[in-house]
Structure 1
Amino acid sequence: MTAMRTQWRTGLGDFSDCLLAGLLVALASVPVVTAGPAFAAACRLLDRTRRDLGSPLWTTFWADFREAARGGVVFGLGCLAAVVALAVDLEVVAELPGAPVLRPALWLLAAAGVVVAVRTCEVVATSGPAPASRTPVWRHAFVTAARETAADPKNSLLLAAAVGMAVLLVWMLPILALVVAGPLALAAVATGGRR
C-alpha cells in the first residue's frame, strides 16, 4: 500500500513540475520573441526531472532561459516572421481560384513548421553544444530538428498530435494557455531523439 502511495505522490509531483514549467514559460514568453528560449528551458528542465537530476525548478529554469536566450531571440523573430507570412499567404490564397486546394496545403506546411520549431527547442535543450564552434547553437538545432522530423515520422506525428491537443485545450479554455506549454515540452522531450 505504501509503494502505491509513493508512486501516486511521485506522479503528482511530476505533474505539478510540468504545470509549473508551463507557467514559467508563459511568464518568460511575455515579450513573444522569447517564447523559443522559454520553451527550450522548459524542455531542459523536464528532461532533467525525467532523469531524476532534480534541482530547484525556479532557479534552474531562469538559468537555462538566460543561456537559451543567447541565440533564441533571433529564432523567435524568425518564427514570428513565419507566422506573419503564413497569415498573409492565407489571405492571398483566399482570392485565388485554387483556394480549396492551396489552403489545406498551407495548413499542412504550417503544421510541419510548428513541429520543426518545437523540435528545435527540444534539440537545444537536450543536446550538447553545436559540433563546430562557429555554428550557432540554434541554427544547428534547427537543421537537426528538420532532419529528425523527416527521418522519424511516427514521433513527428505524435508531437503534431500533442501540439494539436494543446491548441484544442487553449481554444476550449483559454486560461490553459498559462500552463499548456509544460505538457507540450514534456511531449517534445518524450518524442525527441536521444542524442
Structure 2
Amino acid sequence: MRSATVRLGEFSDCLLAGLLVALASVPLVTAAPAFVAGCRVLDRARRDIGGPLWTTYWADFRRAARGGIPFTVACGVAVVLFAVDLEVVAAMPGAGVLRVALGVLAVAGAVVAVRTCEVVATDAAPWRQAVLTAARETAASPRNALLTATALGVSAVLVWMLPILALIMAGPLALAAVATGGRR
C-alpha cells in the first residue's frame, strides 16, 4: 500500500508544481524562471531531498528570476519572429515545404528552451551556458529530445482540448523535462 501512497504523493506534487508555475507565470516575463523552479522542486521531490514544496518553490523561483527574465523575453521575440516568418512564407512558392521546415525548427527551438530550463534547474548553470548545454544535449541525444517534444505536443493537445488544464500542465511537463535530462 505504501507504493500507491508514494505514487499519489508524487502525482500531487506534480500538480501542485504545475499550479505554482502557472501562478508565478502570470506576468509573462517570469515564465522561464517559474518553469525552472518547477523543474527544481520536482527533481528534488523525485530524489526525496528538500523541504515542503510550497516554500522551496518560491525560494527557487527568486533564485532563477535573475537571469530567467531576459531568457523569457528572448523566447518571446523568437516566437514573434517565427509567426512573422510563417506569414512571409505563406506568400512564397513552395510554401508547404517551407512551412514544414519552419515547424521542425520551431519544435527544435521549443525543445531547446525546455531543456535549457531543465539544465538551469538541475545543474544550477548560468542561463547562457545552459542554452549551449541544452542545444548540445538535444543534438547528441535525439531520443531524449523526441521524448521532450512528445511531452510538449501532448501538453499542447491537452490544453487545446481542455483549456483549464493550462493551470496544471507545466507540472507534468517539468517532470518530463527532468526525467529526460539524461545527465544523472
TM range (shorter): over 0.9
Paired position in structure 1 for 2:152 = 163
Rounded to whole Å, the distance in 1 between the matches of 2:3 and 2:83 is 46
What residue identity is the alignment partner of 2:146?
L
Identical positions, percent = 71
Of 167, 177, 189, 2:178 maps to 189
Q: How many residues align?
A: 184
What residue identity is the alignment partner of 1:57?
L
Corresponding position: 1:102 with 2:98: yes
Q: Is the 8 A contact 2:120 2:130 kept in 1?
A: yes
Paired position in structure 2 for 1:132 = none
Paired position in structure 1 for 2:31 = 35
Rounded to whole Å, the distance in 2 between the matches of 1:114 and 1:103 is 16
Q: TM-score, normalised by structure 1?
A: 0.93
Paired position in structure 2 for 1:127 = 123
Paired position in structure 2 for 1:175 = 164
Of 22, 25, 36, 2:18 maps to 22
Of 97, 107, 110, 1:111 maps to 107
How far residue 55 of structure 1 moved from its aligned partner, in angstroms, is 1.0
Rounded to whole Å, the distance in 2 between the matches of 1:30 and 1:193 is 30
Q: TM-score, normalised by structure 2?
A: 0.98
What residue identity is the alignment partner of 2:98?
L
Q: Is the 8 A contact 2:50 2:56 kept in 1?
A: no
| Cα RMSD (Å) | 0.8
Which string of whole-angstrom CA distances, capped at 9 and with x for unpartnered residues, describes residues 74-107 of structure 1?
Answer: 0000000000001111111111112011001101
Rounded to whole Å, the distance in 1 between the matches of 2:71 and 2:182 is 21
What residue identity is the alignment partner of 2:63?
E
TM alignment of 1:40-55, pairs within 5 A? 40-55=36-51
Rounded to whole Å, the distance in 2 between the matches of 1:128 and 1:188 is 15
What residue identity is the alignment partner of 2:51?
S
| Structure 1: runs of 5+ lacking an equivalent | 130-136
How far residue 194 of structure 1 moved from its aligned partner, in angstroms, is 1.9
Paired position in structure 1 for 2:65 = 69
Structure 1 runs, 4 residues or longer, greater than 6 Å off: none
